[in-house]
């Protein structure tokens, strides 16, 4: 087997992204037969006038495809999309609103949210409302509860994000402060039937957190949001009217159900990881999806990945079948990496003897606490940090290549989807008089990769039109004789 090239890794990543292309996902999940709408085998009567709303990074492509599928059955729609996501001005019954520059709610997004609210308020009981939900939806559906202003709400959520709140903590607060989030959209639509089609960008696909769960009851107890704000020392700084909204308990009904709503997850990280597996296998690698639940600090993840690569290299090179040490190692990190029982048994029972190349695939969304002044993203940071960690282990018996990319094609405030890492990157960089550790310390992974090998180790795909978190690909293969 030839040594993996950056093109090899890129081809595996691109296959994973195309498997979660919204058009592809919708064609797999939704069809119209006679006057019936069939969604994941459930049947809805299309004699009802059909309306559409949507929000998120994949919403434009989802909306265009749904419009093709529904044809004249679609009466009207309002879909909020990120700036730059609109690709064609083909006439449409759907009104697209671009907003949320850099994933931050703004007046355009608020205008779009008001248009969505206005459309829903006109619905009749005999109508049908389709809701298209994908990652980035929270920033595209801002409608603060009166008298909270958009700027006040933005200050609260931005401060939480900067202080390290994870997406579920962030959205527990957003749900409490917003009219349409946390089930508000579904409540407004009642009793009109609601069918929501969701592309998940959160680990384990929690519908109540994806885009802050506009179509599911907010099952958080009222104190959850308050506890999050206290955890990050923000509660005492809130405007008085924000505290009053958070303390309202009438909107919290943990037993609430929405009998008029059906939610369908039509795309997620598992689908993308499985597609990566199929392609890597077709390329001749013995491939495994070890986890789609990777989270935690990037530095820690890179250390574990580096040790994993070292262990796999020694198993392949030593040509020994046994992997007791490997099993013990993997057992130690199984829960931290979110490795399933199936994946654990599959790889620890594999005989590495005369294996010509292993491809390990992960998915998830690690975090970076940004302390430096540099420019980068969690994927570029992970690829650089992995290269530094694997270099420390002096694994010279095998070729070790790594890719970490965001499936939405945008990693942090940069034009890259992510980057490559290799076991010889550090030594190679020093030949070019570039110190990787310095760039990493300044959270300047983009600055490093634009200099290293003239930027060839950056992965640039542009907006992919989908978003199912990140994909990590690790290939370990014997050095060619
Ligand atoms: N200089 C940097 N180096 C490393 N990571 C950074 C840097 N600047 C920002 N980040 C990370 O990038 C994250 C934002 O990434 P991005 O803009 O891709 O949004 P996202 O979290 O993927 O949103 P979505 O899930 O909607 O795509 C921040 O949470 C921060 O941790
Ligand atoms: O929009 C959001 O809330 C995040 O992308 C999680 O879905």
- The tens digit of pLDDT for each residue in 86-143 reads 877 677 899 999 999 878 899 999 999 999 999 999 999 999 999 999 999 999 999 9
Answer for the pair 97, 115: CB distance below 8 angstroms, yes or no: yes
User: Is the shortest distance between the CB of 10 and ligand 2 below 6 Å?
Assistant: no
Q: Residue 217 has what pLDDT?
A: 93
Partnered with residue 471 across adjacent β-strands are 363, 405
Task: Give the number of residues written for the chain.
Answer: 481
Domain housing 293: 270-478
Q: How far apart are CA 478 and CA 481, in angstroms?
A: 8
Instruction: With H, G, I as helix, E, B as strand and everything else as coil, classify residue 479.
Output: coil
User: Is the shortest distance between the CB of 367 and ligand 1 below 6 Å?
Assistant: yes
Instruction: Kindly state whether residues 334 and 264 are assigned to the same domain.
Output: no
Domain final position from 234, 268, 302: 268
Instruction: Kindly state whether residues 131 and 277 are assigned to the same domain.
Output: no
Query: Whose CA is closest to atom 10 on ligand 1?
Result: 377
Q: Is residue 157 within a helix (H) or strand (E), and if so which, with residue range? A: helix 150-162
Query: Whose CA is closest to atom 2 on ligand 1?
Result: 376
424 in a domain, yes or no?
A: yes
Answer for the pair 156, 225: CB distance below 8 angstroms, yes or no: no
Rounded to 5 degrees, φ, ψ at 421 are: -130, 150
Q: Residue 227 has what pLDDT?
A: 96
Q: How far apart are CA 308 and CA 218, in angstroms?
A: 39
16 in a domain, yes or no?
A: no
Q: Residue 91 has what pLDDT?
A: 78
Instruction: Kindly state whether residues 339 and 211 are assigned to the same domain.
Output: no
For the CA of 467, the nearest atom of ligand 1: 27
Query: Whose CA is closest to atom 24 on ligand 1?
Result: 136
β-bridge pairing 128-134 and 194-199: parallel
Q: Residue 255 has what pLDDT?
A: 64
Over residues 265-278, the pLDDT tens digits come to: 999 999 999 999 99
Domain final position from 250, 268, 286: 268
Partnered with residue 45 across adjacent β-strands are 36
3 in a domain, yes or no?
A: no
Partnered with residue 458 across adjacent β-strands are 419
To test the ligand 1 pocket, which listed residue (412, 461, 466) has its Cβ within 8 A of the most ligand atoms? 412
Q: How far apart are CA 414 and CA 404, in angstroms?
A: 14
Q: Is residue 429 within a helix (H) or strand (E), and if so which, with residue range? A: helix 425-431
Q: How far apart are CA 86 and CA 54, in angstroms?
A: 14
Residues of the chain with pLDDT under 70: 1-3, 89, 249-255, 319-322, 481
Nearest-5° angle of CA 163, CA 168, CA 171? 85
Ligand nearest to the CA of 105: 2
Answer for the pair 77, 93: CB distance below 8 angstroms, yes or no: yes
Q: How far apart are CA 442 and CA 27, in angstroms?
A: 44
Q: How far apart are CA 103 and CA 135, in angstroms?
A: 10
Instruction: Kindly state whether residues 177 and 296 are assigned to the same domain.
Output: no
To test the ligand 1 pocket, which listed residue (378, 416, 436) has its Cβ within 8 A of the most ligand atoms? 378
* Total domains present in the chain: 2
Answer for the pair 404, 421: CB distance below 8 angstroms, yes or no: yes
Q: Residue 3 has what pLDDT?
A: 64
Return the closest-CA partner of residue 441 out of 390, 368, 379.
Answer: 368
Partnered with residue 418 across adjacent β-strands are 405, 459
Q: How far apart are CA 268 and CA 250, in angstroms?
A: 33
Q: ipTM score of the complex?
A: 0.96
Assign residue 88 a region: left if phi > 0, alpha if psi is -120 to 50, beta otherwise? beta
Q: How far apart are CA 188 and CA 95, in angstroms?
A: 20
Domain final position from 268, 283, 312: 268
For the CA of 103, the nearest atom of ligand 2: 1
Answer for the pair 130, 66: CB distance below 8 angstroms, yes or no: yes
User: Is the shortest distance between the CB of 82 and ligand 2 below 6 Å?
Assistant: no
To test the ligand 1 pocket, which listed residue (301, 365, 377, 380) has its Cβ within 8 A of the most ligand atoms? 377
Instruction: Kindly state whether residues 299 and 448 are assigned to the same domain.
Output: yes
Instruction: Kindly state whether residues 420 and 295 are assigned to the same domain.
Output: yes
463 in a domain, yes or no?
A: yes
| Distance from the Cα of residue 438 to its chain's centroid | 29
Instruction: Kindly state whether residues 133 and 196 are assigned to the same domain.
Output: yes
For the CA of 200, the nearest atom of ligand 2: 7
Instruction: Kindly state whether residues 239 and 279 are assigned to the same domain.
Output: no
Instruction: Kindly state whether residues 257 and 279 are assigned to the same domain.
Output: no
6 in a domain, yes or no?
A: no
First-to-last alpha carbon distance for the chain, in angstroms, is 11
217: domain CATH number is 3.40.50.10180
β-bridge pairing 358-364 and 286-294: parallel
Q: Which residues contact 220 (CB under 8 A, 6 or more apart)?
A: 172, 175, 176, 182, 208, 252, 254
167 in a domain, yes or no?
A: yes
419 in a domain, yes or no?
A: yes
Instruction: Kindly state whether residues 39 and 157 are assigned to the same domain.
Output: yes
Partnered with residue 360 across adjacent β-strands are 288, 474
Rounded to 5 degrees, φ, ψ at 116 are: -60, -45
Sheet holding 36-39, edge to edge: 30-33, 36-39, 42-45
* CB hemisphere CA count around 149 (13 angstroms): 5
Answer for the pair 47, 35: CB distance below 8 angstroms, yes or no: yes
Instruction: Kindly state whether residues 278 and 263 are assigned to the same domain.
Output: no
Instruction: Kindly state whether residues 62 and 122 are assigned to the same domain.
Output: yes
Query: Whose CA is closest to atom 12 on ligand 1?
Result: 412
11 in a domain, yes or no?
A: no
């Amino acid at each position: 087997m030839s040594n993996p090239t950056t093109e090899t890794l890129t081809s595996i990543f691109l296959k994973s992204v195309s498997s979660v292309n919204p058009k592809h996902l919708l064609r797999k999940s939704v069809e119209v037969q006679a006057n019936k709408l069939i969604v994941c085998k459930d049947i809805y009567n299309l004699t009802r006038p059909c309306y559409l709303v949507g929000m998120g990074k994949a919403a434009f492509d989802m909306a265009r495809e749904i419009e093709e599928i529904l044809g004249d059955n679609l009466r009207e729609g309002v879909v909020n999309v990120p700036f730059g996501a609109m690709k064609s001005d083909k006439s449409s019954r759907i009104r697209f609103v671009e907003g949320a520059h850099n994933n931050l709610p703004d007046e355009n997004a608020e205008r779009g949210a008001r248009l969505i609210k206005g459309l829903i308020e006109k619905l009749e009981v005999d109508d049908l409302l389709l809701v298209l939900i994908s990652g980035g939806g929270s920033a595209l559906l801002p409608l603060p509860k009166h008298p909270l202003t958009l700027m006040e709400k933005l200050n609260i959520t931005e401060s939480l994000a900067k202080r390290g709140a994870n997406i579920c903590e962030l959205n527990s607060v957003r749900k409490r402060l917003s009219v349409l989030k946390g089930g508000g959209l579904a409540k407004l639509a009642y009793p009109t039937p609601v069918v929501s089609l969701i592309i998940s960008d959160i680990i384990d696909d929690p519908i109540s957190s994806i885009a802050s769960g506009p179509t599911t009851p907010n099952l958080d107890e009222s104190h959850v949001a308050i506890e999050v704000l206290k955890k990050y020392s923000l509660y005492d700084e809130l405007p008085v009217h924000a505290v009053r909204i958070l303390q309202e308990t009438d909107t919290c009904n943990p037993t609430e159900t929405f009998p008029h709503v059906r939610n369908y997850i039509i795309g997620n990280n598992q689908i993308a990881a499985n597609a990566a597996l199929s392609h890597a296998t077709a390329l001749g690698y013995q491939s495994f999806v070890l986890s789609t639940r990777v989270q935690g600090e990037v530095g820690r993840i890179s250390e574990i990945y580096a040790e994993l690569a070292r262990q796999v290299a020694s198993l392949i090179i030593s040509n020994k079948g046994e992997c007791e040490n490997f099993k013990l190692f993997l057992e130690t990190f199984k829960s931290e990496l979110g490795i399933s029982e199936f994946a654990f048994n599959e790889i620890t029972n594999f005989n590495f003897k005369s294996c010509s190349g292993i491809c390990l695939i992960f998915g998830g969304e690690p975090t970076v606490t940004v302390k430096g002044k540099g420019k980068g993203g969690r994927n570029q940071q992970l690829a650089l940090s992995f290269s530094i960690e694997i270099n420390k282990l002096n694994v010279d018996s095998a070729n070790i290549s790594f890719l970490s990319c965001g499936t939405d094609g945008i990693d942090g405030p940069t034009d890259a989807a992510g980057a490559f890492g290799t076991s010889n990157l550090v030594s190679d960089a020093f030949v070019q008089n570039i110190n990787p550790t310095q760039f990493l310390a300044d959270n300047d992974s983009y600055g490093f990769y634009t200099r290293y090998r003239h930027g060839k180790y950056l992965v640039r795909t542009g907006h992919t039109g989908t978003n199912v978190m990140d994909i990590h690909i690790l290939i370990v293969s014997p050095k060619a004789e």
